[in-house]
Amino acid sequence: MGLNLGQITDALGGDLQGDRQTLITRLAPLATASSSELGFLSHPKYQSQLNDTQAACVVVSPVLAPVAIARGACIVTPDPYLYFARLTQLWRAHHPMPVGPRIHPTAVIDPSASIDPSATIGPLCVVESGAHIGAHTRLHARVHVGHSCVVGDRCILHPGVVIGADGFGFAPHEGAWVKIEQLGAVRLGDDVELGANTCVDRGALEDTTIGNGVKIDNLVQIGHNVHIGDHSALAGCAGVAGSAHIGAHCTLGGGAIVLGHLELADHVHISAASVVTRSIHQAGQYSGFFPIDDNAAWEKNAASLRQLHRLRERIKALEQRPQPSQ
């Protein structure tokens, strides 16, 4: 179990300052790494960790190389965080999780579904009629892919994901709700990853679509008719309401909500717990949440906030007061 430094740099590049034969037994955070483990330093502000770590080797950027070399073995690379990501992949490839059968016998797969021969379907999954699962895609246990939904290549769907439940559509009629049958489906692009218990609803008429390379965390809700552009990322507990269109390279922070029928341009970043209530046409960072405070201070400020409009009028009245003659 393990890789030596030569194996690592042969596979991933980087400028190795140290002994190729040094065996690495684990990847670890710098703060807790033992003398047979490898850590990384992605940001100069954590430089102090370099002095304290016991790690056998540290992955660093060129600017930190002199300090790192003085300490011991290191791998110098322009983007240590990216290097670390690839190193986790190399590590996993050398220490694979046990894999069950390609299609687990407890999965319930409609005969009309098309499953690429290279795809993996975990235990207790359901793949309904007419669905398609792309090449090298992995459905972990207990994933649901509904009727006619399409999952692209190299996707990863974590346990409990539900693709293709009905969108939430009803017409009001005499005080009750008349169901709008959801006649569309869901299409996921390639290289999409969906976190545990995340839901993507089928479209009302056309398909809900998730672009290539989109990454979505756990417990996220994607409503019907939504479109998410390539390489966007949504953190846990986020929600996107029906018919919203999110551009490419966007991010939603945890718990952020996008209301229905809105459009977000490319490269729009929404802070955690913020509610998008209007379309955003300009790239940038947007925020909207109440700053946390100790409860007593919050209560005072919240109470004042409920009269803010009147405060504004009082300021205006003050401004209109006659001033003393100079």
Q: Which residues are catalytic?
A: 224
Fill in the DSSP letter of residue 167.
Answer: P
Q: Across-strand partners of 40?
A: 59
How many residues touch a copy of itself (CB under 8 A)?
A: 131
114 binds a copy of itself (CB under 8 A): no
Q: Across-strand partners of 239?
A: 221, 257
**256-285 residues near a copy of itself, rule: CB under 8 A:** 257, 259, 270-278, 284-285
Q: Would you say 13 or 177 has its CB closer to a copy of itself?
A: 177
Q: Would you say 62 or 288 has its CB closer to a copy of itself?
A: 288
Q: Is 188 helix (H, G, I), strand (E, B) or coil?
A: strand
**183-212 residues near a copy of itself, rule: CB under 8 A:** 183, 191, 193, 195-197, 199, 201, 204-206
Q: What's the one-letter identity of residue 55?
A: A
Burial class (CB in 10 A: 0-12, 13-18, 19+), 124: middle
Question: Site mask, a copy of itself, residues 143-182, x = CB under 8 A?
Answer: -x-xx--------x-xxx-x--xx-xxxxxx-xxxxxxxx
Q: Across-strand partners of 263?
A: 245
Q: How far is the CB of 22 from a copy of itself (least distance, A)?
A: 19
Q: How many CB atoms lie within 10 A of CB 101?
A: 12
Residues 34, 35, 114, 129: which binds a copy of itself (CB under 8 A)?
129
89 binds a copy of itself (CB under 8 A): yes
**4-63 residues near a copy of itself, rule: CB under 8 A:** 26-29, 32
Structure tokens at 203: 């479209």
Which segment (15-23, 51-59, 63-71, 82-90) binds a copy of itself by CB under 8 A? 82-90
Which segment (11-19, 51-59, 67-75, 90-98) binds a copy of itself by CB under 8 A? 90-98
**294-323 residues near a copy of itself, rule: CB under 8 A:** 294-295, 297-309, 311-312, 314-315, 318-319, 321-323
Q: Would you say 18 or 39 has its CB closer to a copy of itself?
A: 39
Q: Would you say 64 or 224 has its CB closer to a copy of itself?
A: 224
Structure tokens at 212: 């290539």
Q: How far is the CB of 281 from a copy of itself (least distance, A)?
A: 12
Q: Would you say 76 or 226 has its CB closer to a copy of itself?
A: 226
Terminal CA-CA length for the chain: 85
Residues 2, 6, 72, 123: which binds a copy of itself (CB under 8 A)?
123
Give Cα separations from 113 to 109, 130, 186 (angstroms): 7, 5, 14
Cα–Cα distance for residue pair 51/35, rounded to 1 Å = 14
Q: What's the one-letter identity of residue 6?
A: G
Question: Computed from CA positions of residues 93, 212, 270, 182, in that sequence, does the dihedral angle turn out positive or negative?
Answer: negative
Structure tokens at 4: 């030596």
Cα–Cα distance for residue pair 153/161, rounded to 1 Å = 17
